[in-house]
Amino acid sequence: MSPKVFLFGYSGHARVVCDIFLSRGYDLAGYFTESSVENNPYELLYCGFEEESGSLAIIKNHSYFVAVGSNSIRKKISATLFNQTGINPCNALAVSAVLSPKIQMGNGVMAGPASIINSGSTIGNGVICNTASIIEHECNIGDYVHVAPGAILCGNVTVGENSFIGAGSVIKEGIIIGKNVTIGAGTVVLQNIEDGKIVVGNPQRIIR
């Protein structure tokens, strides 16, 4: 029997997650959102809203995954689920992802199609390593970080929790990026970034 997995969130990002689980032989048992969606390409069962009393009983003895791209929302839902169930989410690891056997990985991690995570890296809880992103050797990625498609983190990069690394950006080796940082698409980061900054451009410039 195929393992069952329930999704929390069912937007565009969740479609990529659906493909990952289906390619791994999982049974997509249903989804939780605030209300049912009109566009349901995978014909999933609507299971209710995670904040409604009793709606989570169905996931007991099965796996679940928080398929939400927003770091803050993904973190909030993950905390709600763990507090109510005591169960950690599974990981969504694409068949085409290249994952070194010498990495450490938390719970609720997505490694998208053609993503690469190399030796010695540590990936926190709820991290998204999106399509074709590259996380080189000995990087340290904090909880609920989103590394967007095509982003490249060279060796020994540290990213603080809740930060967003934009599509196609390049982070120089050894750089330290703080918590709650937003790095725009295509940015080239050559210097450390403090907590809470918004950075864009090539080379990087702080806009807030």
Q: Which amino acid belongs to residue 191?
A: Q
CB pairs under 8 A, 24+ apart, for 175-180? 179/142
Please tell me which residue in 13, 62, 137, 146 is annotated as part of the active site. 137
193 DSSP 8-state letter: B
Residue 80 backbone dihedrals phi, psi, to 5 degrees: -60, -45
72 DSSP 8-state letter: H
- Bridging pattern class, strands 198-200 and 205-206: antiparallel
Cis upstream peptide for 113 (omega within 30°)? no
Question: Which residue is it, tokens 């967003």?
Answer: 164
Any catalytic annotation for residue 62? Answer: no
Cα 101 to its chain centre, rounded Å, is: 19
Residue 22 backbone dihedrals phi, psi, to 5 degrees: -65, -40
Report the alpha-carbon distance of residue 32 to residue 24 in Å, rounded: 21
**Contact (Cβ atoms closer than 8 angstroms) between residue 31 and residue 7:** yes
Beta bridge partners of 7: 31, 65
Active site residues: 137
